[in-house]
Amino acid sequence: MLFMNKKNIRKRMLQIRNNIEKEVRNQKDEKIKEAFIDLLLKNNIKSILLYASIGSEVDTWRIFQFCLENSIKTAFPKVMDTQLELYWVNDKKELFPGYKSILEPKNGEKAFIEEIDVIAVPGIAFDYKCFRIGYGGGYYDRVLTNKRGLAVGLAYEEQIIDEIPTEPHDKRLDLIITEERVISCV
């Protein structure tokens, strides 16, 4: 895939991710959740930003449930024009279909990226240098510009490729967690 452009990689990797059988994906989600929770506990994390998973994305709802049960403040993004606004969320009922039918907060207490300890970042493809290909809107690249916490990609092993073509605005993640390993770039 080295000689493919982002658009072609995105298309191919979405096919691969969508073809993971639901039962297999469920097992992978559980392992990724356990590894992510281990990261939270080992680092005494107090606040995170989660994305509202949809379709064949790594499931974040199990992580959200853990955060609620363990008093870890959790923010979710809301698409506003070309930016992500962040809001603290205490219950899934506070989320409503928004941009591309993805669940997002309508409003509430604003959160700021600088006060978040761990940022869970969605993606379609990831590489060993911790770069990612998202859905093409650049929302996470923009929000990660001012981060102070760890940016963590959540991915299935099938989503890891050797190298992603990058552009100057692309932001590198700190870690990628799959069901089999943690790739660290810190």
pLDDT tops 60 at residue 182: yes
Backbone angles phi and psi of 15, in degrees to 5:
-60, -45
What is the residue whose two structure tokens read 């073809």? 19
Backbone phi, psi, residue 119, to 5°: -115, 115
* Residue at 24 is within a domain: yes
What tens digit of pLDDT does each residue of 133-151 get? 998 888 999 999 999 999 9
Range of the structural domain that residue 81 is part of: 6-184
The answer to whether residue 170 sits within a structural domain is yes
Q: Is residue 33 part of a domain?
A: yes
Look-up of token digits 């809301």 = 78
Encode pLDDT of 79-122 as tens digits: 998 899 999 999 999 999 999 999 999 888 999 999 999 999 99
For residue 1, being part of any structural domain is answered with no
Domain count within the chain: 1
Q: Is residue 137 part of a domain?
A: yes
Mapping DSSP onto H, E and C, the string for 119-166 reads EEECCCEEECCCCEECCCCCHHHHHHCCCCCEEEEECCHHHEECCCCC
23 inside domain? yes
Of all residues in the chain, the percent with pLDDT exceeding 70 is 98
pTM of the model: 0.93
pLDDT of residue 3: 60
Here the CATH number for the domain that contains residue 53 is: 3.40.50.10420
